Structure 1
Amino acid sequence: MSGTQVLDSLLALTQVLQADQERELDRRGLTAPRTHLLWVLHHGGPATQVQLAEALDVTPRHITTLVDALDATGLARREPHPTDRRAVLVHLTDRGRTLMQAMDIELAELGAALVDGLDAQTVDAMVRGIDHVRGRLEHLIAEHERAQREREDYA
């Protein structure tokens, strides 16, 4: 299989995954950025808005908007930080925790269903191959961005 065929397959897979994700999140009244924030809280525990902004690689103002929306829907809440009077911690509510636990289960079930019928060696090879392609893509993107900046600096 050529590199172009691999890329075509990955692009098709990306479209299917993104469409499915959008349908599922929409069904729950969520967006991808709100879900990402919930996911970080679910797996990392309560965090300050500054920590969340760093984890999601967005501005603190964007985190404020996301937390406001999640608070309004009863999925997350702000509470005073126990040791820093200037800070607040964002927590999942019981409703948010229940939702994220359900999503965790669904993710595990989907993952198992995707590799159903494949032996462990094939699954391991797939993971190694996908990780390799992702790493190469990240490297190539970084190189491209660096070259773009250099061209702009000399323009």
Structure 2
Amino acid sequence: MDFEQADALNQAIRLLSLRHRARAAALLDPLGLHPGQEALLLELARTGPMIQAQLSEALGCEPPSVTLMTRKLEANGHIRRKPAPSDRRASIVELTDSGKALADQVKQLWCALAEETVTGLSAETVAELPAILNTLTGNVDTRRPSHPHGRRHGAVAPSRRAGHVDGVDR
């Protein structure tokens, strides 16, 4: 790949990431949420109660980031934390009724954001996008071992849950 093509690709990905995050932040703000918190709510809505360390892994965030998010969401009454019966040092995180209602609002918002994002694309392209984007994410995932020449032949794409990386607003 020559520089012009590489630059166009990298700039497009960078701008999409920045603008999508800014748009998500604008949509989440009226709900009292910051980017990253919605992923935590949606993960708990999808899976049910989880040990905080598992939640950190599912979100692709460092544990201190999840701790900060859970503290804020707990202070607002959207989640509750309780000691895990098997390990009192571990916390189980679960949605409250308020958190379940908020997760439902986030689901609606997320559908609207996705539709806005893919406006003008064919249904076939939209259907292919998650796999393509997950492959790209896997290719640059710094949590995985490096491959020779920067390539990851046969790499398994990350799960849908790993859509966020550390650096979320907390």
Indicate whether the TM-score tops 0.5: yes
Give the SS at the match of 2:121. Answer: coil
Question: Alpha-carbon deviation of 1:13?
Answer: 1.1
Question: Alpha-carbon deviation of 1:99?
Answer: 1.0
Q: Any gaps of 5 or more consecutive residues in structure 1?
A: 148-155
Identity of aligned residues (%): 29
Q: Which of 91, 97, 100 pairs up with 1:94?
A: 97
Q: Could you list the per-position Cα deviations for residues 105-144 of structure 1 after superposition, in whole angstroms to 9, with x for gaps in the alignment?
A: 22123323433443333334555544443343338x9539
Question: Alpha-carbon deviation of 1:41?
Answer: 1.2
Q: With CA pairs under 8 Å and 6+ residues apart, which has the higher RCO, 1 or 2?
A: 2
Which structure has more helix as a fraction of its residues?
1
Corresponding residue for 1:25? 28
TM-score (norm 2): 0.63
Give the SS at the match of 2:70. Answer: helix
| AA of the residue aligned to 1:20 | R
Q: Could you list the per-position Cα deviations for residues 67-121 of structure 1 after superposition, in whole angstroms to 9, with x for gaps in the alignment?
A: 232121011113465x548365321111111111111122123323433443333
TM-score (norm 1): 0.68
Pairs aligned (count): 142
Does residue 38 (structure 1) correspond to residue 41 (structure 2)? The answer is: yes
Corresponding residue for 2:107? 104
Provide the alpha-carbon RMSD of the alignment.
3.3
Indicate the structure (1 or 2) with the bigger Cα radius of gyration.
Answer: 1
1:128-147 alignment, distance < 5 Å: 129-138=132-141, 143=146
Corresponding residue for 1:77? 80
